[in-house]
Structure 1
Amino acid sequence: MRALLLLGLVGFAAQLVDGSLGMAYGVTSTTLLLAIGTNPAAASATVHLAEIGTTLASGFSHWRFGNVDWKVVGKIGVPGAIGAFAGATFLSSLSTEVAAPVMSLILLTLGVYILIRFTAFGLPRGNLGKPLRKRFLTPLGLFAGFVDSTGGGGWGPVGTPAILASGRLAPRKVIGSIDASEFLVAIAASVGFFVGLGSENIDFSWVAVLLIGGVIAAPIAAWLVRHIPPRILGSAVGGLIVLTNVRTLLRSDWIDAPGGVQTVAYLTIAVIWAAAIAYSVREYRKHKAQESVEAYEEELRKQEPTTSA
């Protein structure tokens, strides 16, 4: 019962992050499932089955708050589903000994990317209003869907920053559209895992608990996306993913690091993680202060003709 309650909290927290940041439900949930010794393919299958419900709830919630661009959903979601099915069948064919460190390496790479991307650069906002083309979204969807299945997460970490970097869509609509299109990816990945694994390796009680936690968090996250600082949240989540997957890799047969080396690695990552969060907080406050000054100056400019008259 305690394990199920913990999984429910994981599902809630992961969806809260995913719905407000546009990424990290699968990466966070799969990372924690791997940390407790779950078979990699079964962990990814469990998370993707739960995501069928959480992404449906999240997409609906984002739609209600006006955060979804359905043209983008169609252009990236279908190729994403194709890539996800291919990735699921590929992961199912790997042995556990090979799959566990491979998946942790993928998750670690995504975690480092999230940490650096949000800490150093925040969210770009140029080129708003320009259309997003199929020639950009189709290969992005194929790649993100494949990574999502093989890594147990990656649809958001790959898709969200790529579209944000284009600067052509408002951040809240990027997040809402990625969350809505992930419904197609979750279905395709789940079908792929059933083809490759069958159902005997999947604990459906875990799926249900993750799903319940995620569904409860979905509407809250859709509302928070307009208020929470994504830069700070991205730094926090990225550091957590890096720390957890470094732990998995250091304990794997690939490395099998001594205890002292592990301790030094964890402390180093913790210091970098704390510094990244502190830097993101400082930059966020600086940006907000600059916005306030610019708004005040704009208000003064608007009042000048009235004053002179």
Structure 2
Amino acid sequence: MELFGIDLWAIVPFILIGFAAQMVDGALGMAFGVITNTLMVGLLGVPPALASQRVHIVECFTTATSGISHLIHGNIDKRLFFRLLIPGVIGGLIGTYILTSIDGDTIKPFVLIYLAAIGVWLLVRGLLFPPKLREAKHVAPLGLVGGFLDAAGGGGWGPVVTSNLLIQGAEPRKVVGTVNSVEFFLTVTISASFALHMGISHIAGPTLGLIIGGIAAAPFGAIVAKRISPKVMLIMVGVVLSITSAYGIWKAWG
């Protein structure tokens, strides 16, 4: 079955991936980009720059929906929002430039190692959760590094920024909502930069599936963030990302 030249049955798996990844991301403030990018790079063999471009185009839609949902549910810290915004955008632009300037086959194993490290980080974070609440102090450098790694790795803003803010002791609900909201502006910037460097001719099909699944799940994430303990989900995401990334590394260097 086709619509506008797109095989709808072929994008069903991507719809499911987008839905599941966004449910986790909306609840934890992390993992949409990392989950989808790990699957595309590690299991499907998509070049890192193309995978990152697809992820960030999808996240323009999912983060907008998720950010609005978190705003409605009062999950956003305005002060933290502006402390993350500018450094995150600057880091994203730097990461995009570097990723599009390096051969995909050269950087792919290193991107997978980075993603595997994030998986281990999330697993440890889940086992140690939760910290004592206190105001986060190291925000601007964190935003810069998170934005850079997000562009370079096709995901990582949430895992890097959310996990670090939680380690510093910030309120989990506010962290999740604020990080998701800032991510909208970051992904729009990164997507525009990728379009400038790579064009937009390779974004149909799978990207559409991810968008449909992600948008469908986004409104539920803000609700889940209030009602489910992040501990078990952090551990599960850490295990999945570690295994899939390790497989991708073995496939790239095997």
Equivalent residue pairs, number: 246
Give the CA deviation at 1:20: 0.3
Q: Matches of 2:109 and 2:50 in 1, distance apart?
A: 15
For the pair 1:25 / 2:32, whether they are aligned, the reply is yes
1:2 CA drift (Å): 3.6
- What amino acid is aligned across from residue 175 of structure 1 in structure 2? V
Q: Which whole-Å deviations, capped at 9, do the CAs of 1:188-240 have from their partners, x for residues lacking one?
A: 1112212222223x222322221121111111111011111101000001110
1:11 is matched with which residue?
Answer: 18
Kindly report the root-mean-square deviation, in angstroms, between the aligned alpha carbons of the 2 structures.
1.3
Amino acid at match of 2:181: A
Following TM superposition, where does structure 1 have runs of at least 4 consecutive aligned residues deviating by more than 6 angstroms?
none
Which residue, 83, 88, 96 being the options, matches 2:91?
83
Q: 2:10 & 2:35 partners in 1: Cα distance?
A: 16
- Which structure is larger by alpha-carbon Rg, 1 or 2? 1
How far is 1:242 from its partner? Answer: 0.6
Q: Residue 161 of structure 2 contacts residue 179 of structure 2 at CA under 8 Å; is this kept in 1? A: yes
Are the equivalent residues in 2 in contact too, given 1:81–1:187 (CA < 8 A)?
no
- The residue that corresponds to 1:196 in the other structure is 197
Say if 1:106 and 1:151, in contact at 8 Å, map to a contact too.
yes
Could you tell me how far apart the structure 2 residues matched to 1:28 and 1:186 are? 16
Amino acid of the structure 1 residue aligned with 2:189: A
Q: In the alignment, is the contact (CA less than 8 A) between 1:89 and 1:195 conserved in 2?
A: no
- Cα distance between partner residues in 2 of 1:150 and 1:111: 16
Runs of 5+ unmatched residues, structure 2: 1-7
Contact 1:82-1:188 at 8 Å conserved across structures: no
Residue in 2 aligned with 1:150?
152
CA distance in structure 1 between the aligned counterparts of 2:171 and 2:95, rounded to whole angstroms: 30
**What is the CA–CA distance in structure 1 between the aligned matches of 2:132 and 2:206, rounded to whole Å?**
39
CA distance in 2, matches of 1:24, 1:224: 15
Q: Where in structure 1 are there 5+ consecutive unaligned residues?
A: 257-309
In structure 2, how many angstroms separate the alpha carbons of the residues matched to 1:251 and 1:166? Answer: 36
Alignment partner of 2:131 out of 118, 121, 124: 124
Task: State how far apart, in whole Å, the 1-side matches of 2:64 and 2:206 are.
Answer: 18
Tell me how far apart the structure 2 counterparts of residues 126 and 83 of structure 1 sit (CA, whole Å). 27
- Counterpart AA for 1:213: G
Describe how 1:180-219 pairs up with structure 2 within 5 A: 180-200=181-201, 202-219=202-219
Report the alpha carbon displacement of residue 30 of structure 1 after superposing the two structures with TM. Answer: 0.5
Q: TM-score, normalised by structure 1?
A: 0.77
Instruction: Give matches, 1:1-309, under 5 Å.
Output: 1-34=8-41, 35-119=43-127, 121-127=128-134, 130=135, 132=136, 136-167=138-169, 169-200=170-201, 202-252=202-252, 255-256=253-254
| 1:144 Cα offset (Å) | 0.3
Deviations 1:146-172 (A, max 9, x none): 0001111110111011111222x3211
Question: In 2, Cα distance between the equivalents of 1:214 and 1:70?
Answer: 25
TM-score (norm 2): 0.93
C-alpha distance in structure 1 between counterparts of 2:130 and 2:28, whole Å: 11
For 1:268, the equivalent position in structure 2 comes to none
